[in-house]
Amino acid sequence: MSDRVCGCGAELGPDWYVCRGCVGTFRGLLSDLGGLMDDVDAAIGKQLRFGGGGGRRGSDRPLPIDVLVVETAWTARQAVLKWVDWVAAVRGHPVPAAWSEVGTYLRESSGWLSRHPSGPEAIAAVVSAVRRVRRSTDAPPEHPYVGKCSSCGHEVHASATAVIAGCRYCGAEVDVPTLRDETLRRVRDHLVTAADAERLFDEMGIKLTADLVRKWRKRGDVAAVRMNVKGQPLFRIGDLLARHAATFRNEGA
């Protein structure tokens, strides 16, 4: 087998051992390693407290904790630590001390790894380990919804100011503003009440209160398309978005 082919099947140029796509996946998955590891610790702490207490040995009560989650997270962390130790040793760097630094260091080492004969093994091991950890921690998303990942279809969440985000599940790099625009374009013809608009926009990380929508209507800045059965005015999402963008532009000027 030629070693000029990436593990994913993509062709490789001379001096390369891992393709750009696979390096992107690696980098994307490591984009918030510190936060991910905090989530793991929180999840494990909760489970250990729940399952702990001692004195229950010999009881035939099944273990209430999800041992699999704890074990998976532990194994995955060992794998990441093993490879960051190796990279730091070969490159002659100090081993990063905190998880956030481990993530940053490995991301910074991605170019070097992609040209090292052991790069494919290291990148595959870290990618698979971080994916396992991500699956084991099912923390509720803390950031607004952006849209569906074009590679794997999972929900992507990102902060309002993020430009690039890594998909939590497949590691694909997501262009946040573009995906958000696409998502909003898909829903622009839906009709919503002022209150529903506030909730929906809030979910997308856009500040727009129901009161403001009512104020716009009173001023004639947006028109209600029709009334619902309760007699509440319904607005087209696209109209609200356009009005919101105009306000934002004026404030920014």
Minimum CB separation of residue 1 from Zn ion in Å reads 14
Contact 113, 18 (CB under 8 A): yes
Using CB under 5 A, list all residues that contact Zn ion.
6, 8, 10, 19, 22, 149, 151-152, 167, 169-170, 172
**19 or 179: CB nearest Zn ion:** 19
Please, which residue, 102 or 170, has the CB nearer to Zn ion?
170
- d(C-alpha 16, C-alpha 5), whole Å: 9
The two tokens of residue 249 are 């532009």
Residue with Cβ nearer Zn ion (28 or 144): 28
Q: How far is the CB of 19 from Zn ion (least distance, A)?
A: 3
The region that residue 231 occupies, defined by phi over 0 for left and psi between -120 and 50 for alpha, beta otherwise, is: left
Q: How far is the CB of 150 from Zn ion (least distance, A)?
A: 8
| Alpha-carbon gap, residue 164 to 160, rounded angstroms | 11
Q: Which is nearer to Zn ion, 10 or 225 (CB)?
A: 10
Dist CA 161 CA 163 (whole Å): 6
Q: Which of 150, 169, 147 lies closest to 158 in space, CA to CA?
A: 147
CB of 6 to Zn ion, least distance (A): 3
